[in-house]
Chain A
Amino acid sequence: MKIKRRTWMKAAAAAMASAALPGCKPQVHKLVPYLLPDDEIVPGVADWYASTCGECSAGCGVLVRTMEGRAKKIEGNPEHPVNQGKLCARGQAAVQSLYHPDRLREPRERHGKSSGVFEPITWEEAIGAIADQLRSAQGRIVMISRPLSGTSRALLLEFMNMVGGRLYWYDPAADVPLRTALGLIFGNVGLPQYDVAGADYLISFGAPFLEQWLSPVSYGVAYGRMRQGRPTVRGRFVHIEPRLSLTAANADRWIPIRPGTEGLLALGLGHILLTERSDRRAHQRGRFEVLFGGVDLKQVATETDVPTDELRRLAKECAGARHPLVIGGGSACSHTNGTQSLIIINGLNALLGNIGQPGGVRFYQSQTYPHQGEDQTVPWLTERLAQALLAEFESGQRSVLLVNECNPVFSMPPVMHIDRLFARASFVASFGPLLDESASLADIVCPSHHWLEGWGDHMPDTAMPVETASLQQPAVSQLYGTRQLGDIVLDLARAVRPGCLPWKSFAELLKHNWTSRFGNSSLAEQEREWVSSLQQGGRWDDDAKPLSITARWTPTRLDPASFMGDERQYPFHLYPYPSTTMGHNGAHLPWLQELPDTLTTAMWGTWVEINPATAASYGIAQGDIVRIQSSLGSIEAPVVLFPGIRPDVVAMPVGQGHTSYGRYATGRGVDPSQLAVPAFDQESGAFATGATRVQIERTGRRGRLVLLQQPAVEASGLIQVDPVKPII
């Protein structure tokens, strides 16, 4: 018997009603008064705490509204130089990660190496067990952590030096090729400030700076200034990307370039600027001949699929602007020539005389906060590096893996088999808040505090014109039996080598680091400064000193991006992009799940975006399920017809398809990285996520696509939906 959905719903509703009727008893709630009322808590009156958002590594300043000791709402801190009062959806949703019902509440130990069962243990047992392993590993210790800064960074480095281990940062949104390119050009000086606010003409090669690139809220504010912050100038903006992203949709012009040719287009643009419009920086011609000299513009036009007229128009506008600025990242990073492309893209800034100028690329030196171990750089864990680690672990000696708040097992493509790294390690400990894919392969999970419960500080990793150091303080008392990461590390240090790190607690270390920064004033004075810093959310009093940089322009070659899969068999480029609303790791938060994707209005799942012309040739309609196939695997997803994408590209949001990440994320959607075929950016070793070619195939089935204008509920009088005229 075929049961229609509506019939099933009716039956289900009747079953639920009958199930509910006999035992219809309201849940009993208890009101428990304070025995002795806290002087500082007035019921119904909110307390606000200044802190620093810990959801991504941008470190926006926040104000947390708490009532009766519970965090209720998070807003941007208007005085904070990074976000200037603004806050993204992810930051707003941080209360949901605090109250997430699946947060780990105490340390747990896995019951047997291969089982998925974890049993609660005490903190003493957990610390003891990890310390034993660290002692016996004799330096074969690897820690993979989300990027940290400030005191946490210094402490982790000190701890890893003490035990003789290696520390790696891992963040799937780090744009490692961009960092590598900047390192090759400017040396090891960190990320610059791209002064978008001061520019009057902005070209972005795939950098999704209004979505998740580096420090999106800060760039969003700067973008607003560029457009509307000056009385007479309205900055213009051109975005170059195969897909119309949210950032592209905000641009004056969107250039749908052929994937992987971003560097080539930059080369063509530089060539025209150098040879035909060299009036700007004529004296520097020689320096840039090596970069932009011999380029065949016709070939550029054919390969990039951008007409020469468009290229000349770009060059003309660029040359005519007072403060032109070129940025690159995102899709430009995701190919086998990512680093090379970004060297050339950033080279355009040098050609335009932008380095160190207002409205250009600026570097600042940080001096007033000396305690985060700047003398030591922490390498980024790329997929190629992970492979090398795996080979090392497979050599058979004892090795210990520590994982802090990152999920490489999920975010690195399955073909990289990072799970083997976990299986090969003799011992794995995880410090994340949820039992995600990586933590569920650990031997011991030691959940750390949520950032709203703990102490910390943060220095932005992008350069800032003001010296910025933000503080994080507990806005709520801890909900469960978790511990501050810094305290776990200190406990481990004490257990491994007593007396080595003398701090009683991380809070004490943090306060020491900060008060020593206030100079040789009296203790009372230092205390006053400390309290006022906490009140303000950090310190940002002094202007940063500009750093003058001499860029190295060695002759750079630009290889064509290579793609995995035969072009005839796999005619489409797969374009996986981090979900606009959730990013790589926000699928566990229902507020982000139900936030419609800005351009397609789709939510709660994974979809595949196909150009309507392509879809028509395949006979595919909106909502049809298609099978997307690469040479390594296939997945199925419903189709969203999206005119803002090249006909030879299919795009899918990344971030769903979890097998273990709390109840809201698990089993929802699919992960397009299952299709990824191994290909690496040559210089940085990052996985070239855009290098996979795919084919699509009809399945004849209809999918359950949840769109804003087309909710997945039965028609009823309750929700009235006006039929929206399709825009296509």
Chain B
Amino acid sequence: MQLCVSCHRNLAQQRPQTQEVLAYWEEQRPIQWTRLHRLPDFVYFTHEMHLKAGFQCVTCHGHVEQMASTPRAASLEMGWCLSCHEAQGASRDCWTCHK
């Protein structure tokens, strides 16, 4: 949190959302973020290879900058992963994701 606050202390302070976040820091309380995406332990995933393949953030995460709140843009379930792997001609070997 120290890292986040070091910029946000000086950026757009007047916005209520920023103030809400800064209030946590004032009280020295960690923010309890709600976790949107949670891959199970048995799935091996890295952003790296997907970015290298030329994917944009929006493909999986949706247009976050246009959203008032952030719903889960994609299910991130195995069928969803596989359909894209199939369409892109990526590996469909079990071992690719389940290591």
Contacts and interface: CB of A to CB of B under 8 A. Distances in A.
Contacts of A28: 34-35
B35 A30 contact: yes
Most chain B CB within 10 A, of A32, A33, A34, A36, is at A33
B1 A29 contact: no
Given A34-B30, A35-B28, A35-B30, A29 B2 contact: no
A31 B31 CA distance: 8
A35 B4 CA distance: 10
A30 B30 CA distance: 11
A690 to B, nearest CB: 43
A31 to B, nearest CB: 4
B2 A30 contact: no
Nearest to B31: A33
Contact of B33 (A33, A36, A37): A33
Interface string A11-52: 000000000000000001111111111000000000000000
A33 B28 CA distance: 12
A44 to B, nearest CB: 10
Nearest to A30: B32
B33 A30 contact: yes
A35 B29 CA distance: 7
A28 B30 CA distance: 17
* Interface range for B: 10 to 19
Interface string B1-15: 111100000000000
A677 to B, nearest CB: 47
Contacts of B31: 32-33
Interface in B23-51: 28-35, 38
A37 B34 contact: no
A35 B38 contact: no
A707 B2 CA distance: 54
Contacts of B4: 33
Contacts of B3: 37
B51 to A, nearest CB: 16
Nearest to A26: B38
Contacts of A33: 1, 4, 30-31, 33
A35 B32 CA distance: 11
- B4, B29, B32 pick with most chain A CB within 10 angstroms: B32
A30 B34 contact: yes
Contact of A31 (B28, B29, B33): B33
Contacts of A30: 32-35
A615 B47 CA distance: 58
B1 A34 contact: yes
B3 to A, nearest CB: 7
A319 B3 CA distance: 74
B38 A29 contact: yes
Contacts of B2: 35-37
A29 B37 CA distance: 9
Contacts of B29: 35
Nearest to A28: B34
B91 to A, nearest CB: 21
B35 A31 contact: yes
Given A35-B1, A36-B2, A37-B2, A29 B35 contact: yes
Contacts of A29: 34-35, 38
A37 to B, nearest CB: 6
Nearest to B38: A29
B54 to A, nearest CB: 24
A32 B34 contact: no
A30 B34 CA distance: 5
Interface string A90-123: 0000000000000000000000000000000000
A37 B34 CA distance: 20
* Most chain B CB atoms below 10 A, which of A29, A32, A35: A35
A71 to B, nearest CB: 15
A37 B5 CA distance: 12
Nearest to A37: B2
Nearest to A36: B2
Interface string A635-668: 0000000000000000000000000000000000
A36 B3 CA distance: 8
A29 B39 CA distance: 12
Interface string B57-70: 00000000000000
Interface in A100-153: none
A32 B38 contact: no
Contacts of A32: 30-33
A502 B4 CA distance: 47
Contacts of A34: 1, 30
Contacts of B32: 30-32
Contacts of A36: 1-2
Nearest to A27: B38
A27 to B, nearest CB: 9
A476 B71 CA distance: 35
Contacts of B33: 30-33
A35 to B, nearest CB: 5
B96 to A, nearest CB: 19
B67 to A, nearest CB: 19
A17 to B, nearest CB: 17
A29 to B, nearest CB: 4
B80 to A, nearest CB: 15
A300 to B, nearest CB: 56
Contacts of B35: 28-31
A35 B34 CA distance: 16
Interface string A326-337: 000000000000
A439 to B, nearest CB: 31
A33 B34 CA distance: 11
Interface string A604-647: 00000000000000000000000000000000000000000000
A32 B29 CA distance: 10
Contacts of A37: 2-3
A573 B1 CA distance: 67
Nearest to A32: B30
A28 B32 CA distance: 11
8 contacts: A30-B35, A32-B33, A33-B1, A33-B31, A34-B1, A35-B29, A36-B1, A37-B3
Interface of A: 28-37
Please name the 3 residue pairs, one residue from A and one from B, whose CB atoms are nearest each other, closest first.
Answer: A29-B35, A31-B33, A30-B32
Given A33-B33, A34-B30, A37-B3, 18 more contacts: A28-B35, A29-B34, A29-B38, A31-B32, A31-B34, A31-B35, A32-B30, A33-B1, A33-B4, A33-B30, A33-B31, A34-B1, A35-B1, A35-B2, A35-B29, A35-B30, A36-B2, A37-B2
Interface of B: 1-4, 28-35, 38
